A and B are shown apart, each in its own frame.
Chain A
Amino acid sequence: MNLIGDILLVIGCAFIALGSLGLIRMPDVYNRLQAGTKAATLGAMSVLLGIGFHHPDWWAKLLVIAGFVLFTNPVGSSTIARACRKTGMEPKRLGKKLEIEP
């Protein structure tokens, strides 16, 4: 039981770290939004599930936190994307650039 919880913790923390790496590597606000929000949400789910395997009597609070993260994080992400779109921030187009430069 503890081994399953530890493996879930490592998987979740790896997903969170890869999402933060995407936050550094991606070229654009929209791509950074995708990488940061979705990978970090999945990683947080896995971390909470792993803690639930370690302490089975905390499942109610962990379920409340997991549901809260699962419902509020896409709302915040879409609100930021909507604000970027409304202020006229253009997505980066790699294809057009390759067409023009050579």
Chain B
Amino acid sequence: MTLSLLQLVAVALLILAIGLSAVRLFLGPSTADRVVAADTLAVITTAGLAGLAAIFDNPIYLDIALVYGTLAFVGTVAIARALEGNRP
């Protein structure tokens, strides 16, 4: 299928966002910076999977987006809790 001009602009902006977040993910000074970048990448991927469902005209990608969002949320909270250290 063909994308219109505005949709191509949207896809280009999404790819730019993924690149900028990946730069912060690679050269973040501390671990917390990398966790923040991974969290942002998870949100971008959720929105991108919903866009992929619209591009391929197949609603199964919406289920994949929901499951990916759940797993990314659990991973973010787990890493943040592990960064916090041992608590009673």
* A contact set with B: CB distance below 8 Å: 2-3, 6-7, 9-10, 12-14, 16-17, 19-21, 23-24, 29, 32-33, 36-37, 40-41, 43-44, 47-48, 51, 54-55, 58, 61-62, 64-65, 68-69, 72-73, 75-77, 79-80, 82-84, 86-87, 89
* B contact set with A: CB distance below 8 Å: 4, 6-7, 9-11, 13-14, 16-21, 23-24, 30, 32-33, 35-37, 39-40, 43-44, 46-47, 50-51, 53-54, 59, 62-63, 65-66, 69-70, 73, 76-77, 80-81, 83-85
Q: Which A residues lie within 8 Å of B66 (CB)?
A: 61, 64-65, 68
CA distance A98 to B51 in the complex (A): 46
Indicate the member of B7, B13, B21, B53 with the most A CB atoms within 10 Å. B13
Mostly, the A contact residues are helix
**6 nearest A-B residue pairs (beta carbon):** A13-B13, A20-B20, A6-B6, A36-B40, A20-B17, A83-B84
In the assembled complex, how far is the CB of residue A29 from the closest CB belonging to chain B, in whole angstroms?
Answer: 5
Q: Which A residues lie within 8 Å of B59 (CB)?
A: 55, 58, 61
CA distance A75 to B81 in the complex (A): 12
Q: Choose from B30, B35, B62, B73 the contact partner of A58 (Cβ within 8 Å).
A: B62
Q: Choose from A36, A41, A51, A75 the contact partner of B77 (Cβ within 8 Å).
A: A75
Q: Which B residues lie within 8 Å of A77 (CB)?
A: 39
Q: Decide yes or no: A51 and B50 within 8 Å by CB, A73-B43, A86-B84 being known contacts.
A: yes
